[in-house]
Amino acid sequence: MRLRLRLARLQQDHPAAIELVRLLAKHRAYSAQASASLLRGLVLDTLRAARDPAALLQAWRALEPAERAMPELALAALEQWDRLGEGSAAADALPGARRWLEESLQLGWGRYASLDADLRRRWLLRLEAELPRLGSNWLAQIEQAQQRQPADAGLQYLAGQAYLQRQLWGKAATLLGQASSQLTDPELARRCWRSLARLAEERGDAEAAQAAWKKAALI
């Protein structure tokens, strides 16, 4: 069976390789940790190899429930959706896509507190990109999470961007201002200062806007 797995991997037959790893795991041919790591890598390869939205959804639906519950795999699927250049129109046209997008976003959001720093950063950016299409229920969830963890710079950032998207300038300025002094990730910090610059322009404060643009450029 291990030989068949090697052959499937060489041929980049990802579905066959995934099924073989599952079987090997059941027979305890690998340790639980090794099996999980190998399976995760193969699933990531499968998702990233999808060439169109239908293939991506098919690959996702072929996963077992425990695999679909992994935030890193849900994020990889969402990122591949973005790489395919698909947006809201494609989600509406492809049966089940809209529901899948919502469920995947909720999965990552529900596990936010348990994620490592890199996964948190990637989820924040993915959720930020989706803000224009998220309903008021999402704003309420983001607000509540930020209020429960007021010192979390990532949640300050996301809530600030959500307020900015909805033109709640004062709330946006407060939270983004707090986040700007605490964010350690360069990309998030740059985006934060750029938003602060736009807020300053909105209120007609050219000096503050220039200073914020400069800070963003220096990161």
Residues 6+ apart with CB under 8 A from 196: 173, 176, 177, 180, 208, 212
Q: What is the CATH number of domain 119-219?
A: 1.25.40.10
What value does the mean pLDDT take over residues 50-75?
91
Q: Over 80: is that where the pLDDT of 174 sits?
A: yes
Q: Is 19:56 a contact under the CB 8 Å cutoff?
A: no
Q: Which residues contact 163 (CB under 8 A, 6 or more apart)?
A: 169, 171, 172, 175
Of 55-59, 67-71, 131-135, 186-190, the range with the highest mean pLDDT is 186-190
pTM greater than 0.75 (yes/no): yes
Confirm if 8 and 20 have CB atoms less than 8 A apart.
yes
Q: Report the distance separating Cα 186 and Cα 183, nearest Å.
A: 8
The predicted-structure confidence for 123-145, as pLDDT tens digits, reads as follows 999 999 999 988 889 999 999 99
Among 28-32, 80-84, 158-162, the least confident range: 28-32
Placement of tokens 């492809």 in the chain? 94
- Asked whether the predicted pLDDT for residue 8 surpasses 60, the reply is no
Kindly report the length of the chain.
Answer: 219
Task: Compute and round to an integer the Cα radius of gyration of the chain.
Answer: 20
Q: CA 178, CA 7: separation in Å to the nearest integer?
A: 53
- pLDDT tens column, 35-45: 778 888 888 98
The band of 30, judged by pLDDT with boundaries at 50, 70 and 90, is: low
> Of 38, 28, 26, 41, which Cα lies nearest the Cα of 72?
41
Task: Please choose, from the candidates 124, 121, 75, 64, the residue with its C-alpha nearest in 3D space to the C-alpha of residue 101.
Answer: 75
